[in-house]
A and B are shown apart, each in its own frame.
Chain A
Amino acid sequence: MQEAPATNQIDTRDMALAIRRHAVQMTHLGKSSHVGSVLSLADILGVLYGRVMAVDPADPRWVDRDRFILSKGHAGAGVYAALAERGFLPREQLKTHYQNGSKLSGHVSHKGVPGVEFSTGSLGHGLSVGTGMALAAKRAGRGNRVYVLLSDGECDEGSNWEAIMFAAHHKLDNLVVAVDYNKIQSLDLVANTLALEPFADKWRAFGWHVTEVDGHDHDALLAALDVPAGGRGQPSVVICHTTKGKGVSFMENQVLWHYRTPQGDEYRDARAELGLTGEGEIADA
């Protein structure tokens, strides 16, 4: 087995901040939605791509890599940003996100983008695919892990619960789900739409190992997410309690910022809050 690339020495907080800065600029330049969703999961991505996952930008298809599927594909800008920070693609390319002719679609796509494991966008697909990948790793005797990041609203999709049953039945303890539980979905609060609570108990009842963490606390995320592939005899879910729009005060906990794009004064203020100075765009982030 090839040694894991010794590149996981990135400061995960720097990584998360870079993802936030990129996300605000990408959604500004592309006049696109979902900046609140990316800000919500930036710390989870920062910890996964900065420290936890064994990936190799020089060999994106390295067979023993940890797999990552962003099932909430609408936050794809965050994955592109993380991949750029890890050297899978040039930071400059992030400017093309959402633009005519770009490979960086609003919902994450693997076509022509090294490092993207799987394309999503329609909710409720990623977990089944990740379950298949985890099963394949077990069958092949590989020690890699499979990470799937779900949104809270996405847990409305019944297909997830099919996969949740399957993964527990087959004891896929190399499968780790993170739920970005920011309590806000497209049009309203999760609690006002289809209540998920008691959420952790639901997962437990389905046979999963459950951890609940502050989804912006890097030490807690690291401890919960960096689990060995195997040993528990059950799949793991890390319910990450997050704040939608985290890091930009006027976006935090606002349903509005699921779809609104940062422009004008709002863009200027968001940049300032994230410590972006001057007029420079992405490559300077």
Chain B
Amino acid sequence: MRDAFIAELMEMAEQDPSIMLITGDLGFGVLNTYVERFPHQFLNAGVAEQNMTGLAAGLALEGHKVYTYSIGNFTTLRCLEQLRNDVCYHDADVTAVAVGGGFSYGQLGMSHFATEDLAILRALPNMTVIAPSDPWETRVLTRQMAAAPGPKYLRLDKGKAGLAVDEGDVTLGKVRTIRDGKALTIVTIGAILSEALKAADALAADGIDARILSAHTLKPLESAPLVAAARETGAIVCVEEHNVVGGLASAVAQLCLEQGAAPKAFRAVGLGDLYPTIVGDQDYLRAAYGMDASAIAKACHAALGVAA
């Protein structure tokens, strides 16, 4: 996804000299072509994310379209107050780009797991929160985000859902319907959609047809597909490579309840409000912490009150 993002950014930077990419001294081997082609639209702020983000706000308020780039929590939690006060309160056109959503850097340890970012960023007024599920979707959303001024967060994953390209089906601010179904609805965010797809295949073998929704735009979260899912299907199961507190499940539950569309049953699949203490690759950690396809299928069975 990071390569897709940079590829799209280069196309845009060619057309728009106001675009500035600022890295917090990360992106080895990824940013080289961009830096060569657009040296005047690039800054390395050094290992100094607070300054990077304040600087980004200052540039944005003077007319630049700014992207701050780093991995894990370094463009978000490390400089959260700069995002809140300098970027969001001033409605500055800054996109914080984080490479490595969830367990993307699974071997690096908890410092590099981005597993609270969605909840925290979602709580910032004016902030748009995006987590694509595929590299091609990243390109589409990056392009659409550029046309929407204001503060944005782009969470990029090492994994990918592996869906066929369908650009017309991806719209910023809309929930994508990946697969239709009546028995229950699985709502996902980001590349962990791949696990939901596998879970849905397993459920289908048991005669359970799962609807799958991909909420690549967590904020603003589109209401209609979720309300329809609550009303038309037997349960909503939310899946996120993220703490179950404050992220997708919280957002979906609040939205449905406020719309008077309480799901008949509800489950949150994700990280159970803890810090992982072991490492491994992304697939390993998804399984170890209960958010792989089998855990999702299990949650779906439980939500429907049927034995697996």
Residues of A within 8 A of B (CB): 110, 118-122, 124-125, 127-137, 139-140, 158-159, 162-163, 165-166
Contact = CB atoms under 8 A, between A and B. Distances in A.
A128 B63 contact: no
B128 to A, nearest CB: 20
Main secondary structure of the interface of B (DSSP, over half): helix
A131 B45 CA distance: 12
A128 B90 CA distance: 14
Given A125-B82, A136-B58, 19 more contacts: A121-B85, A122-B81, A125-B85, A128-B51, A128-B53, A129-B58, A129-B61, A132-B55, A132-B57, A133-B61, A133-B62, A135-B58, A137-B62, A159-B82, A162-B46, A162-B51, A163-B54, A165-B46, A166-B55
Main secondary structure of the interface of A (DSSP, over half): helix
B48 A129 contact: no
A214 B50 CA distance: 32
A132 B64 CA distance: 10
Contacts of B89: 119
A122 B85 contact: yes
B58 A131 contact: yes
B59 interface: yes
Given A136-B64, A137-B62, A166 B51 contact: yes
Contacts of A139: 40
Contacts of A165: 46, 48
A136 B63 contact: yes
Interface string B72-88: 00000000011001100
Interface in B33-72: 40, 45-46, 48, 50-51, 53-64
Contacts of A136: 58-59, 62-64
A129 B54 CA distance: 5
Contacts of A158: 50
Contacts of A125: 54, 81-82, 85-86
Interface of B: 40, 45-46, 48, 50-51, 53-64, 81-82, 85-86, 89-90
Contacts of B46: 162, 165-166
A119 B90 contact: yes
Contacts of B60: 132
A128 B86 contact: yes
A158 B46 CA distance: 14
Given A110-B90, A125-B85, A165-B46, A159 B54 contact: yes
15 contacts: A125-B81, A127-B54, A128-B53, A128-B82, A128-B86, A130-B58, A132-B54, A132-B56, A132-B62, A133-B59, A133-B62, A135-B55, A139-B40, A162-B46, A163-B55
Contacts of B51: 128, 131, 159, 162-163, 166
B55 A129 contact: yes
Residue of A124, A129, A137 with highest tally of chain B CB at under 10 A? A129
A122 B45 CA distance: 22
A139 B63 CA distance: 11
Nearest to B82: A125
A110 B45 CA distance: 27
Contacts of A140: 62-63
Contacts of B86: 118, 125, 128-129
A130 B57 CA distance: 9
Contacts of B61: 118, 129, 132-133
Contact of A133 (B48, B50, B58, B81): B58
B159 to A, nearest CB: 33
A71 B86 CA distance: 12
Given A119-B89, A129-B55, A131-B55, A162 B48 contact: yes
A106 to B, nearest CB: 15
Contact of B58 (A110, A122, A132, A159): A132
Contacts of A128: 50-51, 53-55, 57-58, 82, 86
Contacts of B48: 162, 165-166
Contacts of A121: 85
